[in-house]
């Protein structure tokens, strides 16, 4: 029987003729095991990524197949409802309603929201527009009013030429120029406009209140529409512009104009007016 020379004893020196076995590389079995483990890890990662990248509907369908119904579940086990296709659960007792947009209002009415708490005293149907530059008679219906300043109760709005001023009443002609037909707003029927006895309308231009004939434009209708709001003074209103909702009419140096209105506004009484019985 040949002598086994694969491994000598520890006491046997190298020069006794023993040589290491070079038929296979050392640690080959360990390398195969490590390689197999690495391949298995890579395959597991790829599988997990592929499952996560599936569409929500496929994952929901897979979840429904794996979920036990109440009839299939034995007593004492908890069953979970399968998720909806959208991936979200609807809370119990609440309904999801899709908000349908309401019918769009006309651009003129929607461009200027009416202030809360405002009211339109004695308004009627809006008068029809007339040809530019031509006077027309006062509206057939509409309350006649004069506009009185709160902090100057002896002075009223008065048309002087093309401007509106705060004057004391004088003769019959002056009183007629201080009397206005309060009608439904030309731009917003929930607000008001002021028509003069000769068919003009009060409108702001360059932030100054003037009496001009209706030219039929959208800008004129907006400039001539004012929304009454709460002024803080008893029986008085704040007249806010429809196309400049943060501006309101006020008297300054006994002239009427638009100025900013807000919490920090000073001389607030200058912005308050009472619509009183007509002078004319």
What is d(CA 215, CA 134) in angstroms, rounded to the nearest whole number?
A: 9
- What the block records as the tokens of 218 is 């959208």
Q: Are 178 and 167 in contact (CB under 8 A)?
A: yes
Pick the residue with more confidence: 136 or 188?
188
- Mean pLDDT over all residues of the chain? 73
Question: For the domain bounded by 123-276, which CATH number is listed?
Answer: 2.80.10.50
**Any residues with CB less than 8 A from the CB of 202 and at least 6 apart, and which?**
157, 159, 164, 180, 193, 194, 195, 196, 209, 210, 211, 224
In 92-139, alpha helices (H): 107-110
- What the block records as the tokens of 192 is 């008001």
Name the 3-class secondary structure at 47: helix
Most confident stretch, 15-24, 32-41, 113-122, 159-168: 159-168
* 189 CB-contact burial (10 Å; exposed 0-12 / middle 13-18 / buried 19+): middle
pLDDT in tens, 228-258: 999 889 999 999 999 999 999 999 999 999 9
Confidence of residue 8 (pLDDT cuts 50, 70, 90): low
What is d(CA 38, CA 35) in angstroms, rounded to the nearest whole number?
A: 5
CA 142 to the chain's CA centroid: 35
Give pLDDT, residue 11.
55
């Amino acid at each position: 029987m040949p002598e086994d020379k694969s491994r000598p004893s520890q006491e046997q020196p190298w020069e006794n003729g023993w040589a290491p076995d070079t038929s296979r590389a050392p640690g080959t079995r360990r390398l195969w095991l490590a390689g197999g483990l690495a391949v298995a890890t890579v395959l597991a990662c790829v599988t997990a990524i592929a499952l996560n990248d599936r569409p929500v509907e496929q994952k929901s369908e897979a979840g429904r197949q794996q979920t036990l119904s109440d009839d299939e579940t034995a007593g004492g086990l908890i069953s979970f409802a399968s998720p909806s296709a959208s991936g979200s659960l609807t809370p119990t007792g609440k309904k999801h309603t899709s908000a349908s947009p309401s019918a769009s209002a006309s651009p003129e009415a929607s461009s200027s929201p009416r202030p809360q708490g405002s009211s339109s005293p004695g308004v009627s149907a809006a008068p029809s527009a007339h040809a530019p530059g031509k006077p027309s008679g006062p509206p057939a219906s509409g309350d006649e009013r004069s506009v009185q300043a709160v902090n100057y109760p002896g002075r009223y709005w008065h048309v002087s030429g093309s401007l509106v001023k705060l004057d004391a009443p004088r003769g019959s002609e002056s009183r007629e120029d201080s009397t206005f037909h309060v009608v439904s707003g030309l731009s917003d029927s929930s607000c008001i406009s002021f028509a003069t006895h000769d068919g003009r309308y009060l409108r702001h231009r360059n932030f100054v209140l003037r009496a001009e004939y209706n030219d039929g434009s959208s800008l004129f209708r907006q400039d001539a529409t004012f929304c009454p709001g709460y002024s803080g003074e008893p029986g008085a209103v704040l007249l806010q512009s429809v196309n400049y909702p943060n501006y309101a009419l006020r008297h300054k140096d006994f002239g009427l104009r638009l100025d900013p209105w807000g919490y920090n506004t000073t001389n607030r009484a200058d912005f308050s007016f009472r619509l009183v019985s007509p002078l004319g």
